[in-house]
Structure 1
Amino acid sequence: MTAAAGQMTLPGAGNAEKFDYVMDFLKMMAGNEYVGFSNATFQSERESGDRNFAIGYYMKEKKCFPDGTDMTSVLDFYFQLCAIEVTCESASVMAATLANGGICPITGERVLSPEAVRNTLSLMHSCGMYDFSGQFAFHVGLPAKSGVAGGILLVVPNVMGIVCWSPPLDKLGNSVRGIQFCTDLVEHFNFHNYDNLRHFAKKHDPRREGGDQRVKSVINLLFAAYTGDVSALRRFALSSIDMEQRDYDSRTALHVAAAEGHTEVVRFLLEACKVNPEPRDRWGSTPIDEAVQFGHNDVVSILQNHLEKNSTSDGSDTKTQP
């Protein structure tokens, strides 16, 4: 189905162009996190793909392909797609993009239309776990996609995306520990599609924030910026935390990162999170002022280049937010 879609998406294009198109699309879904290709896997898939060739010829006999389609080329494209590599981190961003209605939570870019997300999640819910799909839908009640490499991509709509990887598989080709994790997750939290808060009062609802949740969120965010922990900041961004939150002095994570000279954090906040580059704290200082005061010239350059780039692309000077 995927290969045929590729044929119709780029009619007349060669496999190389189609593959680049799919790779670029997946990288957008992953927020430019790692998406690679394993040539060894591709060669292995093609050499052991007798069953796929048999299905392909059967589909060709039943006129499933558009006129003029080279079925062998379609299968080669399919085998290429089967050899795409991701990490748990990059695949979890893809899952989060689906959970977020098609908007990548890292870049803020719309990658999929709401209709495409709905259709994708419907397919995942009904047949994403091979022959275990019915039982998974009954017990877990969430859209998921399993892979024979031992991964399970799980989507909790409007909440989060999860990817777990554990190679030992059951007889149906699903990760044993992955399914156990998904089952334990919905036993603890009210994420099942048909959980009802009135009747499942014992389950936890992480979507309900306590009164001091925002205070903890600001503290954790600014501490991650202070220590230069980009991984923690990435997790916060994926959790839909406001990356422009301010403390009692109106200082942001960008203020703190600039004052400490953490260039990677500054780049992440500017480029991935699209935060305001010129917020002012209670004393009127901007992140550039902080970097200048503490002698972090590399941070000053990053901030100035970002401001100049945005000013050029907007066709006007960047405005300072009070």
Structure 2
Amino acid sequence: MSYLLKPLDQCKLTLRNRLVFPPMATSKSEENGGISKALLDYYDEKSHGGYISLIFIEHSFITQQGKASDRQLSVADDSVIGGLKKLADVIHKNGCKAVMQINHAGSATSKAVTGYETVGPSPVVNPRRGLVPSELTKEDINRIIENFKDAAKRVKQAGFDGVEIHSAHGYLLNQFYSPLTNTRRDEYGGDLLGRIKIHLDIIKAVREVVGEDFPILLRLGACDYIEGGITIEDSKRAAVEFEKAGVDILDISGGFCGYIVPGLSGQGYFSDITEAIKEVVSIPVILTGGITEAETAERLLASEKADLIGVGRAIYNDSSWASKALESIK
């Protein structure tokens, strides 16, 4: 059997193969963040046939102040649970599993989007947005931890197979993680353990509400590729702490660079990071980034660069990509 077709069974989230569709923003929700027919149709099309083992639902805001953009999906209050259940049911009907990504934008948004002042860990300009946020108080941080907890509870109630905490691409938790934007002098800043304290607090709070058997994933912006930013060595240390805290799968991406990394190209361009992190944790690691060929996915898995392969743009552009790719390696 090919590496890509091998089931993942040594994990809380069991999967039929190693192919996943990563979270990709669509801006197809209703204006209030609710589930639209267009969104249901989109995920129905992407999951059709059950060729992809796991579908990630695009990042969804946990509170209005953390909304990243217009028509972003909401998981901010109980009124959305019914619509989210319809979404989970559509994906399950097609034979795929579904994980929902939950997020707070922090300083990667604006008052024009949220109606609120922009906040962050420190009053430091966001490299991707150019805004200087108001510094979050400890009371604010505690409220955000509760927001993540409540959002995760809704994800489980809606019938999803797991929840992913977003700490990449310059959003709030990435802002706490990176020394570029976190200059705090309290327990939520300083050294690496201080900068990931909010992550550990959120993981603990989410675990309390979803129970021991519900999978928790974390998307980690594992390298900023900017002087003074997060390094691979930082993320190796953080990954160990996240596993100890109860994260079941690590989903690796870039930090403030997002997917646009100067000097990095080709397929699987974050593979050096995933390989390094795999060496220090026992939980599965997801690699996404420029992968467009099944043969490349096979090679990356065979060389133990990752445990799961995310294919985003290729499937976004061609919903039949997965069926053709898996057929080609049988």
Higher helix share: 1
Q: Same fold (TM over 0.5)?
A: no
Normalising by structure 2, report the TM-score.
0.25
Q: Which has the larger radius of gyration?
A: 1
Normalising by structure 1, report the TM-score.
0.25
